[in-house]
Chains A and B, each alone.
Chain A
Amino acid sequence: MLIAGPMGSGKTTAVQSLSEIPVVSTEAHNNDRAQADKLTTTVALDYGEITLSPEHKLRMYGVPGQRRFSFMWKILQERAEGLLLLVHNDAPDPVPTVLEYLEDFQDLIQRGAVAIGVTRMELLPRPTIPMYVEALRAAYPNITIPVFSVDAREAGQLQKVLVALVAAVEATAMVGAANEGARR
């Protein structure tokens, strides 16, 4: 599973919250304090794991948020089952930012494999979730993309989002199979 989104949206924190293993991170000194006032930033990926069964693991990859690392997004989404796109509500223009980031993940969108997590809503409650939903409906009228408020530090919340995301992927596949059955 990919976790993507703009710098400072909580991607590294989310991977750390969910992962059973210590996260393998690729943090570098941040020279762009104007974009996010933090000491370090991810420049390749954050890697975490959740064991699902003796034979299956869910691998989580937090990708860098800056667009200059978009080649990593391309590399990692090729094998992704799903994408959690995080955006922080106190960012400038978070709704257009979500739409902009989604342009790089069209294949996952079509597979019903994208969920949006809006972080830091406790600091700034607007835009509201319905505002995000309205914008997404306008951009993707035939796809219902889940949007949830989420605290990237809270594993329980992230797990709920993960369950919903995976449910959406399997539902899309199930409906696709029904469509195929109807066509034959």
Chain B
Amino acid sequence: MNDAQALTWGDVADRLRSLRKLGLPMAMRIEARDAQPITIHVAADAYHWADDAGNTPLPEGPLQVRVRTLGLADRPLEVRTGTLGALLWRIGMVAFAHSAAPWMVPGERYRMVAWPNLTEVDATTEQVQLCALFGSAALDLDDVAGAVGVDRQVAVTLVSTLSLTGSIEPDPTAPVRKLKGGFGSGPRSLFRMIRERFGA
């Protein structure tokens, strides 16, 4: 994989997805102007970014990316800023804020196979609801967005981000299910009560 210049976060997401699929001990270094570099050790599920306070906004592009294979002489990341999943979430939210990931198939039904680590990522309540539905069955994007009462793009961004982290999969064989709206909004909904209680 070649190093490249002047990339967007969408480009970075695409490359990261490919690297993760390879399953090899690879490192990626992302550089941006006026920011410390972000180093990712893909197989170690870790990244280091000196600027990061946990929710520091990602630097703006254009980005430079260098990728290399880690050898036996390479030491593990000395300082782990956080888990790779948490960083991928943030990359996905930026990269796919207004469009779908290029590998998404329109009209597909998706099933979430792993929750994002909600104590590490900044997820909205609507995103939690979307995750809960996609985690229960393979569902259509529009159907889920309607059930939660959010714009379609919100669901697109979430599904694109979860696909970057390998947490959601298409399931074309799943039966078609039609959800009724109003998830978590009924007068007896425990979710509504908890949401209101915690100000979520």
Contact = CB atoms under 8 A, between A and B. Distances in A.
B125 interface: yes
A110 B200 CA distance: 26
B128 A167 contact: yes
Given A56-B193, A164-B118, A129 B83 contact: yes
Contacts of B111: 144
Interface string A153-183: 0000101111110111111101101110110
A130 interface: yes
Interface string A62-98: 0000000000000000000100000000000000000
A81 B190 contact: yes
Nearest to A178: B177
Contacts of B135: 112, 144, 146, 168, 171
B197 A144 contact: no
Interface string A136-152: 01000000101111110
A147 B115 contact: yes
A51 interface: yes
Nearest to B138: A175
Contact of B119 (A52, A157, A177): A157
Contacts of B193: 52-53, 56
A158 B132 CA distance: 17
Contacts of A169: 190-191
Contact of B177 (A137, A151, A161, A182): A182
A106 interface: no
A133 interface: yes
A164 B117 CA distance: 10
B52 interface: no
A99 interface: no
B85 A129 contact: yes
A56 B181 CA distance: 24
B120 interface: yes
Interface in B81-118: 83, 85, 111-115, 117-118
Given A150-B119, A163-B128, A128 B177 contact: no
Contact of A129 (B117, B132, B147, B198): B117
A166 B180 CA distance: 18
Contacts of A112: 135-136
Given A174-B183, A182-B176, 13 more contacts: A52-B194, A125-B80, A125-B83, A137-B114, A147-B114, A161-B118, A163-B125, A163-B128, A163-B191, A164-B118, A168-B135, A178-B137, A178-B178
What 9 A-B pairs are tightest by C-beta distance, nearest first? Answer: A171-B132, A167-B132, A144-B135, A52-B193, A146-B115, A178-B177, A175-B136, A171-B136, A133-B114
24 contacts: A52-B196, A53-B196, A112-B136, A128-B45, A128-B83, A130-B114, A137-B113, A144-B112, A144-B113, A148-B118, A159-B200, A160-B118, A161-B119, A163-B128, A167-B128, A167-B184, A170-B183, A174-B180, A174-B183, A175-B137, A177-B180, A178-B178, A181-B178, A182-B177
